[in-house]
Structure 1
Amino acid sequence: MPNAHRFPRLPALAVALGLATAGTAQAHPHVWITAKAEVAYGPGGRVTGIRHAWTFDASYSAFVTQGLDANGDGKLTSEELAGLAAENTTNLSEFGYFTKLKVAGKDQVFAEPVEPRMAMDGDKLTLSFLLPVKGPVAQGRGVAALEVYDPTYFVAFSLSEAADVARLVDAPAGCATTVTRAKSDVASNGQAGAASAGATKPGMSEAFFEALTNASNYGAQFANRILVACP
């Protein structure tokens, strides 16, 4: 079922999960991701790309990996997940990679992602990939501002609580990060936070969420931000 394995095909995925049928959908996200990010620098202090690491909730991880254990040993290797990683990473272009980056006040455009990889850790699946910047730009004394979110709020992103949630690779000396997590209290594991999300916006019906399209920007209010300032 190749289409069922496409994380970015959000409407199709909702149907496949049985969450978008009448009477079953809830007014909250349907996929939860805990994110980490690296901001990569090159010569001259130029920002060259973003390396993402996105860990999916256990329910989605179980769904999307059905039938991928080729040798039937009960374990999923990076080799068995390679096709899924490549397909999903490629399809992210339709959604702008859920990533916005400004360097010194200018919006950056991304090249096609490279180095896609997936790995299972316990019951959760992590997708990682490098998102190169087209025409790397020098940050200078300006700020690099990275935002990660789904404009339609079908996918709820939250930044990891780990110490390495925002790393700088080959950055100029003295650069430092500031992390601002989404103001939503939606939990990365789903259900408890889902109820809270609905409660924070009284009066929002399922019809409201069904009306959201990929052009919507409702999810911007739940954006996670990483700021990099250099002296």
Structure 2
Amino acid sequence: MHENLQRRRAADRTLRIAAAWIVAALAVAAAFQPPAALAHPHVWVTARAQFVFAQDKLTAIRHSWTFDPAYSQYATQGLDTNGDGKLDASELEELARINIDGLYEFDFFTKAKANGKPVTFKTATDASLEFVDGSLILHFTLPVDPPVAAGRALSVEVYDPTYFVSFVFAPGQDAATVVGSAGTCAVTVTRPKQTDFNEQQALSEAFFEALTTASTFGQDFATRAVIACP
């Protein structure tokens, strides 16, 4: 009984931390790196996206974000409530919900434009987490409201304005794909250049601490996809 109570308290503590997962990321950095090594970003996310079309209009974006092992290990402390050494869907369900609630404040770090006009989203649906090979993977869907035609200029960027979190599309052609009735739409993925990262490392931590969600600095490191449809 005492052991189960300890596990529950540990799980509750982790969930409270995860409710502000950006703040938790800073704690991860402090826990796994010496102070002199602290520099933005503090969390690394490998992104994949599916662009869902119906009747030749974009209706949703399905995100799959794989978090770096350090953050993943920190965020899941105490969540193995049955003590079997695994993290199943039920143990991660609450953490997925809390993360999605927190990401709402940041517009899910997703910016999209269709023919120069902003694309708007409803709140995320179908949120779930899985723990694979030492990393958390967050899955969720952003419904597009209203649906938009891709035309020749539909662009989607994923980035943190403060660059606290680094988002980079996974390597390979399947990092961003189109599903549904979009015909022969083509997807082009652009990832940040190494020279961009080198320039970032020359900036002080004080510079990043002064950034807000209204900043545009993080856009310089945006990972983006452009969908062109005939």
Q: TM-score, normalised by structure 2?
A: 0.86
The alignment status of 1:143 with 2:153, answered yes or no, reads yes
Q: Are 1:165 and 2:178 matched, yes or no? A: no
Contact 1:47 1:133 in 2 (8 A): yes
Question: In the comparison of the two structures, how many residue pairs are matched?
Answer: 215
Provide the C-alpha distance between the structure 2 equivalents of 1:16 and 1:122, rounded to a whole number of angstroms: 19
Deviations 1:186-215 (A, max 9, x none): 8xxxxxxxxxx3x42475222112212222
Q: Offset of 1:87 from its aligned partner? A: 1.2
Gaps (5+ residues) in structure 1?
Answer: 187-196
Task: State which of 79, 86, 89 in structure 2 corresponds to 1:68.
Answer: 79
Distance of 2:65 and 2:37 partners within structure 1: 24
Residue type at the aligned position of 1:150: D
Q: Give the letter for the 1:169 counterpart.
A: V
More helix by share: 2
In 2, Cα distance between the equivalents of 1:202 and 1:87? 31
> Does the 8 Å contact 2:18/2:24 carry over to 1?
no
**Partners of 2:60 and 2:200 in 1: CA distance:** 35
Question: For residues 159 and 226 of structure 1, what CA distance do their matches in structure 2 show?
Answer: 9
How far the C-alpha of 1:97 sits from its partner, in A, is: 0.6
1:107 paired residue number: 118
Partner of 2:5: none
Match among 40, 51, 66 for residue 55 of structure 1: 66
Query: In angstroms, what is the RMSD of aligned CA positions?
Result: 2.1
Alpha carbons 2:126, 2:141 under 8 Å: kept: yes
Per the normalisation by structure 1, the TM-score is 0.85
Q: Deviations over 1:79-131 (max 9, x none)?
A: 21111111101211111111011122210111010000111111111001000
* Structure 2 residues not aligned, in runs of 5+: 1-12
Whether 1:41 and 2:40 are equivalent positions in the alignment is: no
Aligned to 1:93: 104
**Corresponding position: 1:116 with 2:115:** no
Q: Where does residue 191 of structure 1 map in the other structure? A: none
Q: CA deviation at 1:171?
A: 3.6
Matched-pair contact (CA < 8 Å) for 2:51–2:178: yes
Q: Is 1:33–1:157's contact at 8 Å kept on the other side of the alignment? A: yes
Contact 1:29 1:153 in 2 (8 A): yes
Offset at residue 185 of structure 1 (A): 6.2
